[in-house]
Structure 1
Amino acid sequence: MKRYLVLEDGSVFAGTAFGSDKEMHGEVVFNTGMTGYQETITDASYCGQIITFTYPLIGNYGVTADDDESVAPSCSGVVVHELARRASNWRNELSLDEYLRQHDIPGISDIDTRRLTRILREEGVMKGALVNELGDAKAKAAELKAAHFSTQQVEQVSTKSAYTDPNKGLRVVLVDFGLKYSILRELAQRQCNVTVVPSDVTAAKIEQLHPDGVLLSNGPGNPEDVPAALPMIRAVQERYPLMGICLGHQLFALANGATTSKMRFGHRGFNHPVREIATGKTVFTAQNHGYAVDADSLAGTPLLQTYTEINDDTVEGLRHRDRPAFSVQFHPDATPGPHDARYLFDDFVALMKKNKQTKQGAKADAKAE
């Protein structure tokens, strides 16, 4: 069956349909990872986007439920050069085609993904549609150009009610803006007792949970579309150690007076080199974001830049000058991807332990008086 990818600039790619027969539109982006297609597709940060994989062969090891990063994928489509005819892996449970059909997501194969990626790099990410009948391509492109897509992606992917991932260690409140399960796995490895809460949680609700620390998760879309989170972050960072990842990093920046802006084509892949400013150490990271914190906007804020992206000098990490709070643009949970930055979860745990000991010491002093 034929399928077409139409871009708002009028570009048309004809290919072969797989996955669902449903027609979908979304922002067309590209991911440079050589593996990990399932984790990418199930990353809620791709909500509403059509994912182009630059690696030429996708689907060769199939799909297994153990590798999901969310309950169900929320992307709008998948674009590949070649879809593997047969999945071969001892863990395989479904083919990628079967998996996308199961979740009603369309895919297109047998197109020149190098050409498509070049367009997106030169012109920037743009709106597109996967359609089964081409019709008037110019009219469809004009329609896409004028379309206004939903800005409520975080609301779509965030949990609607709180739930726990119980353990016997430090209590962490994890604010779900579109979290990856790999964050939960990293916290579980450190015996953290986690309560996951919706994105619209208030500081008062978090306080009722008596956390030792608060983690702001990754998530999709423009951070400026989540203004309700900013007063919560400002209040929380005054009382508890705080860590932000990806969208959580951007919201941490906004809450402290910095600004963000949309990137031309973003960072989406598992090979992004980041330099720690204090030490000069280079860390290879997994990234997935289309917005970045404006470096010039940090002047006059209580924030200090801690990491920079080596390829384009974008802001990759921040630390509050007066509070035990920090954030990173990349994914230290890194599934899939390099594990270089996992130590940041240890840093978060250390901050929580230190803050808890300080509070206990203050209580003991007050009781002695």
Structure 2
Amino acid sequence: MEKWNKKLILEDGSQYYGYSFGSQEEKITELVFNTAPVGYQEILSDPSYTYQTVVMAYPLIGNYGIAKEDFETKQPSIGGLAVRDYNDIPSNFRSAATLDEVMRQYHIPGIYGIDTRKLVRKIRDFGSCKALLTDVQTSLEEGLEKLAGFEIPKDAVEKVSSKEIRYCAAKQENYLVAAIDCGIKENIIRSLNARGCSVMVYPWNTSYEEIQ
């Protein structure tokens, strides 16, 4: 059996050993979980997961690949992904790439083969925490030292917000909606467009006077 090559070190000193997929880089993030049985692409590209590693409660991830139309943002900014079983041979006529390929493209590290049930229960019972996604050779002492000296950034909104105003037209415009982008998902814009609302998307720090 292949040897573990990746591990997740939590700030409480617990370690979860597994295998690497996606980007190979080391990263410290906040650890959270998601219980959705489908939609890993939408989770991967959801701006609200900036600086966070998401533990997927549903075990099988990657089996239907990645579709170009299903991204929630043009530049995914999630911190990382932790899953039980990763499938690198997707079966889906809409699939344009594997999850691993997209995660490498956007510098998102991942780990699979860990006990996600145990990890989800820990987060549920004790709350989110800092975690280091690193090479299996990193010692616990070294990992805890890195975690202790790292502060999760507080600029997530500024990081993911639009840098310029953009107009998203409805096929038949009945209303014009101003949306302040604090990490808006593309599906929100699509849903408004489908209801006859064109959307002007503004950067997070746009003034009231400018919107008027």
Pairwise same-fold verdict (TM > 0.5)? yes
Q: Deviations over 1:326-349 (max 9, x none)?
A: xxxxxxxxxxxxxxxxxxxxxxxx
Could you say what secondary structure the match of 2:28 adopts? strand
Q: What is the match of residue 2 of structure 1?
A: 5
* Counterpart mapping for 1:23-172 below 5 A: 23-167=26-170, 168-172=173-177
Q: Deviations over 1:162-219 (max 9, x none)?
A: 0101232211101000000011111101121211000001111111xxxxxxxxxxxx
Could you say what secondary structure the match of 1:187 adopts? helix
Q: d(CA) in 2 for partners of 1:187 and 1:135? A: 47
Could you say what secondary structure the match of 1:196 adopts? strand
Q: d(CA) in 2 for partners of 1:85 and 1:64? A: 14
Deviation at 1:101, TM superposition (A): 1.0
Deviation at 1:147, TM superposition (A): 2.2
Deviation at 1:143, TM superposition (A): 3.2
Q: d(CA) in 1 for partners of 2:206 and 2:163? A: 10
Q: d(CA) in 2 for partners of 1:134 and 1:156? A: 32
Aligned length: 207
Q: d(CA) in 2 for partners of 1:139 and 1:122? A: 26
Q: d(CA) in 2 for partners of 1:124 and 1:203? A: 36
Q: d(CA) in 1 for partners of 2:94 and 2:117? A: 30
Q: d(CA) in 1 for partners of 2:165 and 2:138? A: 46
Q: What is the match of residue 364 of structure 1?
A: none
1:196 aligns with 2:201: yes
Unaligned runs of 5+ in 2: none
Amino acid across the alignment from 1:124:
G
Deviation at 1:138, TM superposition (A): 3.0
* TM-score, length of structure 2 as denominator length: 0.94
Unaligned runs of 5+ in 1: 208-369
Amino acid across the alignment from 2:161:
S
* Counterpart mapping for 1:206-285 below 5 A: 206-207=211-212
Deviation at 1:90, TM superposition (A): 0.8
* TM-score, length of structure 1 as denominator length: 0.55
Q: d(CA) in 1 for partners of 2:198 and 2:69? A: 22
Aligned partners of 1:127 and 1:145 also within 8 Å: no
Deviation at 1:146, TM superposition (A): 4.2
Deviation at 1:142, TM superposition (A): 4.1
Structure 1 vs Structure 2 CA RMSD:
1.2
Amino acid across the alignment from 2:195:
R
Aligned partners of 2:33 and 2:56 also within 8 Å: yes
Q: What is the match of residue 358 of structure 1?
A: none
